[in-house]
Structure 1
């Protein structure tokens, strides 16, 4: 007997994202199979992020857009957790405020999660503000798939394009790292805890999203620190293997080439949490 496709809630943490949040939410609404709800969790934004989401909710009253506020603590982890706690779907789609989902994203995720052995899912992305990629359907699937096979000891999740079954989140919620000092990759941390709990993390090339390459506008030292979070995340869990260092080396190698190809303006050059 075929298992029914589960419902999907989309959770979008947001901090000062007025430049990207409308495009993100509209893409989440333009789906071949609608999400149960689209939850934007505002984390102490001081710009127009919340106002834009409220306007979109008024313009699409039947779309299930929900604006939540998480002002207790600054940071991605508590903001993500607040969204997960409020979500009602059987699957929690976790994306960033600059993610632009492909039209069949919810459908592909829901169908993949009909397999009860899959606890979490991630997929490839394109970079919509890098000209060489913007008008092309080519994504980073080949690179990400290669990294996936290299890292089979501990599969990864990518926070801009991932989904986790609500039951799987409940199983690791109280052991996932709070990362108060903001030193880890929270998506990799989730993958580690899922692996340690015996929950399967899968990769789906059909689960596509566009993202901004804006992190490349960080200073070289800041970007280097960002990539070293891979090592920090794995070593904090007592995991060490040369294949798990591949993402750090790859990103550092691509930094200058993609940075020079990006179309980001100087005004967009800020650090992102």
Structure 2
């Protein structure tokens, strides 16, 4: 790229009044700001829209835009609407409870500039509601680097912390699966279609986002259904590569320990509140 790439950040949102302000403030306070921040509301019934509108008023130069996707309920059509509306050379994608580090946009630009052949990237995450955050980040980075090697050409994207070139989205937008039955990982489906189009998915270790570990609070049955989305996504595309399933094996392996840890933390927090009262 001869000049600095412009960046749009897409944030699908559904009833995220508790997290969306923190998410947006982290994007506003970047070392290199994004040109636009697109919050795509998907039939929220809480104060999500009101909070976003308040931040638009408070930070008129931050490039925050609020739109609606009311045709369908779901992350995939909401994400797609945001990608279609984005005007940047690069399109970042995070969740409304993601809290990106201060140099996230800068790291994104640098990663794409350093690897012109890469069409899309993911970065590591740290869990801001878990103890030992720095250790967790290093562990997550190590696991993601290992799974990238194992996955071969089917390197997966992580929707809570990813970006792709606008041209890559244009190349696959008409082929990505609508997944109206909500059985797949929408970010994994996107990465599969990029691979099938001959486009490379990479990994950017410096592009760090904080996310919630609330997924670990779900029951073993629900968590297993969530993880099984990997297999269902690959099966839907007739992909039977053992290496591609490496993330699934890792998640199932670490879940029992982390699930117990979360339970212990919740009990400690409950006791602390009870003592304070």
TM-score computed with the length of structure 1 as normaliser? 0.93
Report which stretch shifted further, 242-251 or 178-187: 242-251
Aligned to 1:269: none
1:26–1:242 Cα change, 3 Å: same
Deviations 1:45-75 (A, max 9, x none): 1111111111111110100111111111000
> Relative to structure 2, which stretch is displaced further, 240-249 or 35-44?
240-249
TM-score by length of 2: 0.91
| Length, aligned pairs only | 266
Structure 1 regions of 5+ residues with no counterpart? 267-273
How far apart, in 1, do the equivalents of 2:128 and 2:16 lie? 17
Runs of 4+ in 1 over 4 A off after TM superposition: 134-137, 263-266
- Structure 2 residue 244 is the aligned partner of structure 1 residue 244: yes
Aligned to 1:90: 89
Shift of 1:251: 0.9
What's the counterpart of residue 258 of structure 1?
A: 258
Query: Does the aligned pair in 2 maintain the 1:93–1:162 contact within 8 Å?
Result: yes
Name the residue aligned to 2:274.
none
**What is the aligned partner in structure 1 of residue 61 from structure 2?**
62
Q: What is the CA–CA distance in structure 1 between the aligned matches of 2:203 and 2:266, rounded to whole Å? A: 29
- Structure 1 or 2, whichever has the larger Rg, is 2
Structure 1 residue 23 corresponds to structure 2 residue 56: no
Matched, 1:183 2:183: yes
> Aligned partners of 2:101, 2:136: CA distance in 1, in Å?
13
- 2:60 equivalent to 1:50: no
Q: Alpha carbons of 1:254 and 1:123: their partners in 2 closer, same or farther (altered >3 Å)?
A: same
Mapped to 2, the partners of 1:27 and 1:69 lie a distance apart of 22
Q: Does 1:170 align with 2:146?
A: no
Q: Is the contact between residue 234 and residue 240 of structure 2 (CA under 8 Å) also seen in structure 1?
A: yes
Unaligned stretches of 5+ in structure 2?
270-277
SS in 2 for 1:140: helix
Q: CA deviation at 1:220?
A: 1.2
Take 1:41 and 1:139, find their aligned partners in 2: how far apart are those partners?
32
Would you say the 8 A contact 1:128–1:134 is kept in 2? Answer: no
SS at match of 2:132: helix
The CA deviation string for residues 191-232 of structure 1, in whole angstroms up to 9 with x for no partner, is 111111111111111111110011111121111000000001
SS at structure 2 position matched to 1:126: strand
Partner of 2:229: 229
Cα contact 1:24–1:98 (8 A) shared by 2:
yes
CA distance in 2, matches of 1:152, 1:247: 13
Instruction: Write the distance in 2 (CA, Å) between the matches of 1:257 and 1:4.
Output: 47
CA 1:152–1:135 in 2, change beyond 3 Å: closer, same or farther? closer
CA–CA distance in structure 2, aligned partners of residues 187 and 48 of structure 1? 27
CA RMSD of aligned residues (A): 1.8
Q: Deviations over 1:125-159 (max 9, x none)?
A: 00111113278763510011001111113111000
Is the 2:153–2:200 Cα contact (8 Å) retained in structure 1? no
1:138 correspondence with 2:138 = yes
